[in-house]
Structure 1
Amino acid sequence: MKISIKVKFSLFLLTLLLLTVFLLRMFILRGIRENQKIEYESYLKQQTVLSEAYLRQSFLASSELLPEVFLKENAEILTKDLLSYTGLETALFSLEGALLSPRKETLNEETLKELLPHALEGSTLYRARGNDLFYLTPLSLENHRVGILAFYYSLRNENSFYESTASRFLYVGGAVFLVTFLIAYLYFRSYAIDILHLNRSVEKIESGTYDFPVSGRSDEIGSLSRGVFHMGQKIRTTLDNMREEERKLQEAVEKLEILQKQQKEFIGAVTHEFKTPLTSIRAYLDLLSMYPEDEALLKKALSAIEEDTERLYDMVEKSLELSKLEHYAPQAALTSLPLHEVVEEVIHSLKGKMEKFGLSLRKDMEEVHILGDREALIITLSNLLDNAIKYNRPQGKIHLKVYRKDDVGIFYLEDTGIGIPENLSQRIFDPFYTVDKNRSRETGGVGLGLSLAMKYTELQGGKLRLLSSSKEGTAFELSFPIAPESNEKSDS
C-alpha cells in the first residue's frame, strides 16, 4: 500500500515530539532532584558546622574538663538547644553507639542502627526514605572525636515541589506537544504540498504539458521546482526545435526552387548587362563595315566602343570580386589604418572624374585610426565615392566627413544626386540592381558597386548604412571599430 508523504511526515512528527517531550521531562525532573540534593546536603553540612560551634562554645563555657563527660551529662539540654538553634530534630550518640539524648519518634531506630556503624568509623552519611532524611556525622570537640551527631530532615517540601512540577510538566508538556505538533504539521504540510506539486509537474511533463506553477520558495525545494520547470521548458524547446527542423526540411525543396529562380534571374541580369554593351559594339562594327570611309562615324564608333569596353571590363572585374566574396569567404588582414589618409588617397584617384562632371567637394576630416583591411577599405570607399560621382547632378556637390564617435570611426558621404525612392532603398545593395537603368548606362554603372561595398565592409567587421535619400541627394554612413592603440592614446 502506498503511503502518502503527508502521513509519513505526520507520523514522524508525532514520534519525534513525543520522544522530545519524554526526554525533556526526564532530564528536567532529574535536574530538579539533583539540585534539591545539592541544596539539602549543603544545608545539613552548614547545620553541622553551626552545631559543632555551638557545642564547642557551650563546652568552653562549662566547668567540665572532659568533652565526653560534658556531652553525656548535658545531652538532653544540648539537643533541645540545637533544635531551637538549627530548627532540626537532633540526637547525640556516644562513641560506643549509645543514645545519649532522649528518644524521639522522628528518629527511626532501625535506620539509625544501619547508619550508625559507618558513622562510628568516621564517615558522614545520610539516608532518605519517603519524606524522611536521616543524617549522621562524627562530632568533634577540641580536636577530639567525642560522639555522633544525628539530624532528622523532612523532605516533604522537596517531594511536594517535585511532584507538583512533574504534574505541571505533564499538563504543560501535553499542551506544548499539541501546539508544537500543530505548528510543525502546518509547516511541514507546505513542504509536502510542494513535493506533491513537483510530482504532479513531472507527471505533466510525461504527458506532454510543460506549463505548470513554480514554487515561490527560496530553499532547495523551490530550487528543485524551478529546475523541473526549466527542464520542462528545455524539453519543450528541444521538441519545438525538432519540429522547426522538420519544418525547415520540408521547406528546403521550396527554398531550392526559389534559389534556382534567383539564379536564373541573376544569370538573366548578367546576360542582359553583358549583352547591352556587346550589342552596341557589334552595331558600330556593322556600321563601320558598311561605311569604312566615314571619318565622323569612325570617331564616334571608337568612342562608344571604348566606353562599352570599359563598362564590360568593369562589370567582369566586379562580378569576379563579388563571386569571390560570396563563394570563397576570404579573410581580412585587419590592422590599424589612418582612415583620413585612405580617404584622401581615394579622393586623389577619383579627382579627375569629379572634375570631368564639374562636381565640388567639401571635406571635414579628423585624424582617426580604425581597425580594417587596407585593400578592402580602398575598394569600399572607391565604390561609394564613384557612385556619388556617377549618380550626381551636373555641377553637383559631395560632402565628406571623417570623425570619431565613442569607439567607432565614421566616414560620412553625402551627395546631391538623383536620390533613391524609399520603396527601393532595401534593394540597392543587391547585385546588378540600379535605380535608374538609363542613367546607369549613360554613366557606365552596372549595379555592383554598393554590393561590393557592403560585402567588403562586412568582411572588415564594419557597418554600411543608407542614412537618408531624397530628390535632393543621398547620404551613406560607413563605420569601423577604433584601433586599440588609438583607444590607448585617447585614454592617456
Structure 2
Amino acid sequence: MKIGIKFKLIAFTGSLLLVVILFLSVFVLNGIKSYQDKEDEAILFKQKDMFEQYFSERSSLGNNGTRDKAELARGSIFNKPWLRTIPASVYDTKGELLSGFKVDGKLNENKEKNTMIEYAMQGKVSFAKKDGVIYFYSPIKYKNGIVAILELEYSVKESALFYDNIKKMFYGTGFAALIFGVILGIIYFFNLTRDIYIMKDSVENIQRGNFHKIQLANRNDELGELSKGIVFMSNTIEKNIEELKVERDSLNNAIDKLKKMDKEQKEFIGNVTHEFKTPITIIKAYAELIGMYENDLCLINDGTTNISKECDRLATMVDKVLNLSALEKYDFEIRKKEVNLKEIIDEICARIMGKIKKNDLTFKSNIEDIIVTIDEESLRHVIINLIDNAIKYNRPSGSIDIECHKNGNKITIIVADTGIGICKEDLPKIFEPFYRVESHRSRETGGAGLGLALVKKLVEKQQGTINVDSKLNEGTIFSIEFSI
C-alpha cells in the first residue's frame, strides 16, 4: 500500500508533538512531585525539630524540678497551643504511648506503625504514605540519648489534589496543543504537498508527453526553484521532441519521395515501354499496307504522314527516357491549354484507323465540338490507350464506338467495344499496374498491364474520373468524366 507524503508529514508532525508534549509533561510533573516531596519532608523535619527542642527545654526544667522525662512528655508536651495544631504522638523507648494529639480524632491507620517505631528506636528516621497522609517516625534525643519516639501525621491531600489538577491541566493543554499543532500542520503541509503534487503531476505529464499541462509552483524557496527547473526541462524536452519530429518528418518525406520517385521511375519506364508498342504497331501496319498497295498513292501519302507522326512520338518518348536516366526522376507534369476535343479525337482516330482496318473492325464516332482547357498530351495518351485496348481485345468484325459530349459543367468521353469483355471479379483490379486478366486476353497482345494504370493516373492528375462497365463475351465500356 502506497502512503502519500502528506500523510507521512502529518503523522511525523503529530508524533513529534506527542513526544515533546509527553516529555515536557513527565519532566515538569516529576519536578513538581519532587518539589512537593522535598517540601513535605522539610516541613516534617521542621516539626520534628520543634518537638525535639521543646522537649529538651522541658526536660531541663524537669531535671531541676525532679520530674522524669516520661512524665514530662505525658503531661505537658501538648499543652502549648502551637503544638496542638500538629497531629502527633509521643512514645517511650519501649513503644508505649505517652501522649498524643489529633485534630480530626481519627485512629492511626498505619499498619507498619510498630515496625517503624522499632526502626526509630535505632536512631533512624522513617516515613510512609497512606491515603493522603504521611506517617513520620523519628527519635527524640536529649544529651545524645534517645528519650522518646515522635510520630507525626502530615496530610498531603491538598498537595496531591494540586498535583492532580496540574497533571490534568498539562494533559488537557498538551492534548489541545497536539490537536492545534496537527491542524496547523495539516494546513501548512497541505500547501506544501499541493506544490509537491503539482510538480509530481508535471513530471507525469512530461512522461506522457502532455507538455501543455505543466504547472509552475509559485514559491520562493527550494521547491520553487525545483518547479522552475521542471518547467525549463519540460520546455527543453518539448522543443527537442518537436525538432526530432520535424527531422523525422523530413526523413520520412525524403524516404517517401525516394520511394515515390523510384516507383514512378519504374512505372514510367514500363509505361513508356508499353507505349512504344502502339506507334511501332501503327508504323508496321502502314508499312505492310504500303507494301501491299504499292500503287495506291493516297494510301502511301496517308501512311507516310502517320508514320512520320508516330516516329515523332517515339522520338519524344525516347527523349523522356533519356531525361529520366539523366535526372533519375520523372513527374507527370500537367500543362493545360485550350484545345478542341473534336479535332484531337478525330486526329487520333485518323492515325489509328490503319490498325482498325487491319483488324477488320467497324469504327463509329460521335464527337461534339467542345473547347476545353486540358493537358493535350495526357488526353492523347488516354484516348490512344483506350482505343488500342478496344482493338486488341475486340472480336473479328467487331465494332468500336467513341463519343464525346458536354452535360452542364461535365465533359464525358466514352470508348466502347464489342470485345471479349472482363468478368465482374476482375473489374476492380484492371487499373492496378501490371495486372492482366490472362484468361480473357489474346495471346498476340503481349501487354504488360500498364496501359490502364497509366490512363487512370493521367485522368486523376487532371481531377477527372474513369469508370468501366463490362460483361464477359459482350464488350467493355470506358467512361471518362472531367469537370470544366
Q: TM exceeds 0.5?
A: no
TM-score normalized with structure 2 length = 0.45
Query: TM-score with structure 1 length normalisation?
Result: 0.44
Structure showing greater Rg: 2
